Structure 1
Amino acid sequence: MARTVQVTVDCADPARLAAFWAEALGYRLPDPPGGFASWDEALEAMGVPPANRNDASALVDPEGEGPRLFFQRVPEGKKTKNRLHLDVRAAPGLEGDARMAALEAEAERLLPYGATRLSRHEPAPPLDAGHIVLADPEGNEFCLD
């Protein structure tokens, strides 16, 4: 039996990172618990102090297909290259110059939200169709693929 996964990201600012990834992936915050108009209202009722309300955040795929993303505050910052990264499929079905142009357009779209451009890898045989490496606002590398 296949298992579902949740992708968990350690970070310094869960709300900021969730906002970035919501924009990058088209995900959204999950609805607050029943009976509450907002997460702030729910957290207040649960007794979570204001200082702790950005300890975690989550995102869901609005179509229910992709994994849930969970962002948790940790005290230490990122120190080295990721051992695991996300490939954001930004040019499905495209090849050559059209593919790289679509990847460039997506990279440019994400820069104002806090992405940093790290490198561009041109298409090269036999398997690489070309990709762009970016970092999210906290320096976690990901590929536009």
Structure 2
Amino acid sequence: MQDAVEADEEISHADISPELTKHFRGIRMWLPLKLYGLKPFRASLEEKLHLTRYFYQEINQIKGFETGPEPELSVAMFRYIPIHEDANSFNKKLTQAIQKDGRIFLSSTTVNGVYWIRVAVVIFRTHLEQMYLLLKIIKEKVEELSN
């Protein structure tokens, strides 16, 4: 932008981006699409959907766990139902223990007063190996908290 060139101040990226307001976020999507096409993006999305369904099926097979609705996208909800403790408080402690562990990050939500742990499989670095690790960590933390 010609007015920005003569300014004595440091150049603002807002003055030289195509929108003339903010940095050009769209290029992060546009450039890879132009370079590689849609096929790798579709494959990555399909992988994340499969990983979410895999997690949902596996956590359903572990005794003591309850799941939310079958995932349509890349988010699944689950919780552990302890025998001698309030499920909401236990799952809050479970979420905190998993987050404190630091190897995997899970978030939570409350629906109609019920505390759920959320798995959102969206990071491009997430693959089947991370799902194995997640299931292992969940089992470890449930055991630790139950003792």
State the TM-score, normalizing by the size of structure 1: 0.29
Structure number with the higher helix fraction is 2
Structure number with the higher strand fraction is 1
State the TM-score, normalizing by the size of structure 2: 0.29
- Choose between structure 1 and 2 for higher RCO, CA contacts under 8 A separated by at least 6 residues: 1
